[in-house]
Each structure stands twice: as C-alpha cells, then as structure tokens.
Amino acid sequence: MKLYELVGKDKTQGFSPYVWRARMALAHKGLDVEMVPLTFTEIPSIASGQFKTVPILEHDGDFISDSWAIACYLENTFPDRPSLFGGESGQAYANFFNFTSFYNLLVPLFQSLVYDIFEGLDEKDRDYFRKSREARLGKSLEEAHENQDKSLTTFQKQLWPYNATLKTQAFLSGANPAYVDYIMYGLFQWAKGVSPLVLLTADDPLYDWRQRMDQLYNGLGQVIKTKS
C-alpha cells in the first residue's frame, strides 16, 4: 500500500492537511503504508495524470484519491479493524464535519499560512503555486501575508466549539480518537510543518488534545518538526 503525499524543499515534512487525515486513518486501521513524497508539479505524474490532488492511495493496483473517499474505502475494505466512524451515524457526522471544517477552519488557516507554504516550496513549484493561489485568494501572496494576523484571529475564533467539546470528552469523536479528530489534527499538522505561527495557548483544551494526538501510533505525528 502506498500513500502519495505533498512535500516542499524538505522531503521528510509532508504538510498536506488532507494527507494527514489519510495517514492517521491508515494508522488507526493498523495498516502499514509506504509514503511517497511528491511536490505540487509532480502530482500529475501519478496514475497517468488522472488526479490533480493528494492524498492518493494505491492499493492492490487501484488508485483512490480524495481524503474522504480514502477514509470510506478503508472503512469498507477493512471492516474488521478498528472503525474510523463508529457506525453509520458517526460516518454521517464525519462527512458533515468534513464540509463545515472547510469554510470555518481550513480557509482562514490557509490564508494565514499561504505565504509560509510558498517559502517552503521546492523552487520548481513556486510559479505554479503563486499563480494558482493568487487566483484563488484574489490577491497577491504578499498581501495575504500582510493580513496573516487577521486570518489567524478568524481561525482562532472558530475554535470555541471544539474547545468547549473537549472540556467534556477526551476526543472530538468521544472517549477515543477517530476520523473527526484526524480531520482536525491534519489542520494542526499542516500549520506545524510550514509555519512558526502559534495557533493555540496552553489553556485551550485543544492544546492538551493536540499533545495527546501527537502521542498516537508511536508518536506518528511527531515526524513533523516545529518550525522556527
């Protein structure tokens, strides 16, 4: 089994939030995977160019792309291993969280990280990244960077429901971590891999949660080093 991931100059620091969801999901299922690092402009070299984004999972000759599709594939293909969703209603909720977290969390975090991501990229990806992301942002990377604090505050303001939830339960999925936690954790792994920005304070319940997430699966998430 192979998981294609996204890297910049440092090939050991896979930073995609979506790949982290898939990586944690594979670990949750107890499946060994070979990580294959790609830069942005290398993604079309996989599976005859049929996919534009990572993660891409290769298993038994099949290619599955999209983090949500990969999670559902793992759940269906390995039903006897620990469940990612805890049943149908858990899966429906995780699907909902997958969408809501996009606008509430991922977009403002993207706006605050975008310039730092650019700076960490392999030289050959920079033109592609600048062009595609400036079109998406409707402004230059430098302008986005000037607003970094504002975007970060927007992101932080959206965290209250998760902080509140973690006052009454250990993980977002309940007593034990599962896919909703991996969606959230992917965002923090992304930020950690590309930027020195501090997202949480020690009194945020998410801070303690993140430390516990870092310990899972033999400290898998700790492969990402804090930027300085």
Amino acid, res. 204: D
Q: Which two tokens stand for residue 41?
A: 């402009």
Q: Does 185 bind ligand GSH (CB under 6 A)?
A: no
Burial (0-12, 13-18, 19+ Cβ within 10 Å), 23? buried
Looking at beta carbons only, is 8 or 17 nearer to ligand GSH?
17
CB neighbour list of residue 114: distance below 8 Å, 6 or more residues apart: 133, 137, 141, 144, 145
Residues 88-117 that bind ligand GSH (CB under 6 A): none
Minimum gap (Å) between residue 16 Cβ and ligand GSH: 4
Q: What's 102's DSSP letter?
A: I
Minimum gap (Å) between residue 52 Cβ and ligand GSH: 6
| Candidate residues 27, 33, 35, 66; the one interacting with ligand GSH per rule CB under 6 A | 66
Minimum gap (Å) between residue 55 Cβ and ligand GSH: 6
Q: Does 13 bind ligand GSH (CB under 6 A)?
A: no
How many chain residues are in contact with ligand GSH, going by CB under 6 A? 14
Q: How far is CA 44 from the centre of its chain?
A: 20
- CA dist 26 and 209 (Å) reads 20
Looking at beta carbons only, is 84 or 166 nearer to ligand GSH?
84
Binding mask 17-46 for ligand GSH (x = CB under 6 A): xx---------------------x--x---
Minimum gap (Å) between residue 23 Cβ and ligand GSH: 12
Q: Does 67 bind ligand GSH (CB under 6 A)?
A: yes
- CA dist 45 and 28 (Å) reads 29
Closest listed residue to residue 25, CA positions, set 57, 49, 50, 51:
57
Contact residues for ligand GSH, defined by CB under 6 A: 6, 16-18, 40, 43, 52-55, 66-68, 132
